[in-house]
A and B are shown apart, each in its own frame.
Chain A
Amino acid sequence: MTPETAVVQALNGISFGALLFILAAGLSLIFGMMDVVNLAHGAFYMLGAYITLTVVQRTGQFWLALLLAPPLIGALGLVMEPLLLRRLRGRHLDQVLLTIGVSLVIADLVGLTWGREIRSVPFPAGLDHAISILGGDYPVYRLFVIAFGVVLAVILAIVHRRTRVGALIRAGVQDAPMLAALGVDIDRLFAVTFAIGAALAGLAGVIAAPVFGIYPGMDVDYLIYSLVVVVVGGLGTLSGAVAGSALIGPIDTFGKVLFPQFALALIFAVMALVLLLRPTGLLGRIRIAR
């Protein structure tokens, strides 16, 4: 591999990692903040992508999709949490089964509504050209994705650390009864948190759809990617999601061109290895056993 190629592959890996982060952020938030296993995450992502498809088809405005899809899916999450998940607090197996059920329903309804053709979304105008890097074309959208991922991470970090909502959420995870005793509406807090997580999944659907494509079964594929990233990075922390995607992105990119025979299982091998060396993930914190 020449140095020029290596640089381009590094850009590929970093932008892929950024996409993974955007994809996994919502899952990490929900698991970390609420201790809920949300296997409907891939379905939320899928829904975001299909909404983008319709918006772009009807109006040609990609950015409109960015404005519409996350709130819509966030609203879905806002309804879903109190209705379905509230009574399952702490019951992981039940959450798994329920969210698998929700995922099946959403995926099937999407297929029945939009059809099961393979679709794609073009890059938005303004970001659909290439710029010259080291004498070769490089797609601007991939650079945009890196920037977007960084900005998103920063915003989430600020909200988490510096705002009242973030503090409330952190407190709620630590000691919900105490928080309730202090007069905070725990139920509403968790519903909002779940809604934000769902909205983030929808956001990922908008941003990643032009790169990853739209097809039946995409919910399962990208749920698996999200799970790998979140677990590798260390469950439940934002920095974990960043670490996980920063690791998986480049390793997957370089790995699959250098070792094509292992390409299929590469990220799983990486995850297994990380968990062997650091059982709670790269930046995971040991939790008190429940």
Chain B
Amino acid sequence: MTSVLSRARTLQLVGALIAAALLVTFPIWSTPWEGSRYATSILRDMLILAILALSLDLLVGSAGMPSLGHAAYFGAGAYAAAIAGQRFGSDDLLLGLGAAILVSSLLALAIGAVAVRAAGIFFLMLTLAFAQMVFAVAFQAADITGGSNGFSGVRRPMLFGLDFNGPDALFHLVAVVFLLVLLLVWRIRSSTYGRALVGLRENERRMRALGYDTTRLKLSAFVLAGAIAGVGGALQAYSIRFVSTNDVGVARSVEAFVSVLIGGASTLLGPVVGAIVVLFIERVMPSYIAFAETVLGLVFIIFVLAARQGIVGMVRVAYARARA
């Protein structure tokens, strides 16, 4: 029995490693295919949105805290990485990522301290309100952030002499970070902490009765999610070497939110799948059809009505049925 189980597990592990390797090296093996550069840039954007969606799922999926202002931390991370590179005149990737994590965490701490006192629709609106305030600051503080014109001159990231400037190198970086984030979120979700978050969603009262400081738990989730979002933002800044106010805007927050829901909230791969689907419809489809927004809307409607566990949930059900 055990040998069968461990063989299945080994196969799973090998499969995952192969998939990961294929992902990271995508630009290399896809070269013969025309338009592979473009595909690489789209996949890169999908992975970045996936990072944002994974971080948001810790709140929306695990902890049941529907945040509609998550792009604030994403954008804050982007600006932080960009500004830090400029201020210190440094290309160091660790400096940029460090600044991103620091700023987005602090911002999430400040906003979270206020927001986690609310729940449900009020929490939703508060997170939205604070995100709009962050947007306003980014827009107005033109001397620091470039304002509505955006922040150009994001430096090319370097790590221990490795230059991530070219599109391929940058993709490798994004893919590796994505996999690390995926691993991290997987560990969080399967840890006691992660299960405590789920407990929050299921029955907050009982968690409190069990002795958890639910406010502190919620706040820690908020900050953690904010920090990971900040990492995504930094990668976004490095990708196009530009940060715009769109990166802290409502549209970005909603994009992440619907990605989580479409892919399957509270699953590991759900946010990833959701990000891929949403970006595909939003960015690739419009080159070919005129009504991509309508398609996107219909996808949402159909998924809610027919596949409420999201794509991943649907796949699971189908898989279970096939196995039965």
Contact = CB atoms under 8 A, between A and B. Distances in A.
A108 to B, nearest CB: 4
- The interface size bin for chain A is 35 or more
Interface string A205-226: 0000000000000001000100
Interface in B252-267: 254, 257-258, 261-262, 265
A105 B298 contact: yes
Contacts of B114: 272, 276
B283 interface: no
B310 to A, nearest CB: 10
A281 B120 CA distance: 13
- The interface size bin for chain B is 35 or more
A176 interface: no
Given A265-B133, A268-B129, A272-B130, A37 B121 contact: yes
A96 B133 contact: no
A109 interface: yes
A147 B318 CA distance: 58
Interface stretch (B184-192, B230-238, B287-295): B287-295
Contacts of A107: 293
Contacts of A94: 304, 308
A56 B115 CA distance: 45
Contacts, number: 114
Interface string A182-224: 0000000000000000000000000000000000000010001
A264 B121 contact: no
Given A104-B293, A104-B300, A93 B122 contact: no
Contacts of A106: 297
A97 B122 contact: no
A72 to B, nearest CB: 20
B265 A265 contact: no
A84 interface: yes
A131 interface: no
Contact of A105 (B136, B265, B297): B297
Interface in B89-119: 114, 117-118
Contact of A279 (B117, B129, B305): B117
A15 interface: no
A112 B295 CA distance: 13
Nearest to B251: A220
A92 B201 CA distance: 14
A280 B290 CA distance: 42
Given A107-B293, A112-B290, A92 B120 contact: yes
Nearest to B60: A93
A223 to B, nearest CB: 10
A100 B291 contact: no
A261 interface: yes
A262 B66 CA distance: 27
Interface string B115-153: 001101110011011101101110110000000000000
B207 to A, nearest CB: 14
Given A231-B125, A276-B114, A101 B297 contact: yes
A262 B133 CA distance: 9
B183 interface: no
A93 B300 contact: no
A103 interface: yes
B305 A97 contact: no
Interface of B: 60, 66, 114, 117-118, 120-122, 125-126, 128-130, 132-133, 135-137, 139-140, 250, 254, 257-258, 261-262, 265, 290-291, 293-294, 296-301, 303-305, 308
Top 9 closest pairs, chain A to chain B, by CB: A101-B300, A104-B297, A265-B136, A105-B297, A108-B293, A268-B129, A264-B136, A101-B301, A101-B297
Given A106-B297, A280-B122, 16 more contacts: A37-B121, A92-B66, A93-B60, A96-B66, A98-B304, A100-B297, A104-B294, A104-B297, A108-B291, A264-B140, A265-B135, A265-B137, A269-B133, A272-B130, A275-B129, A279-B118
30 contacts: A31-B121, A84-B301, A93-B60, A93-B66, A93-B261, A93-B265, A94-B304, A96-B257, A96-B261, A97-B261, A100-B300, A101-B299, A101-B300, A102-B297, A104-B296, A105-B293, A105-B297, A105-B301, A106-B297, A228-B125, A231-B125, A261-B140, A265-B132, A265-B133, A265-B135, A269-B129, A275-B118, A275-B122, A279-B117, A279-B122
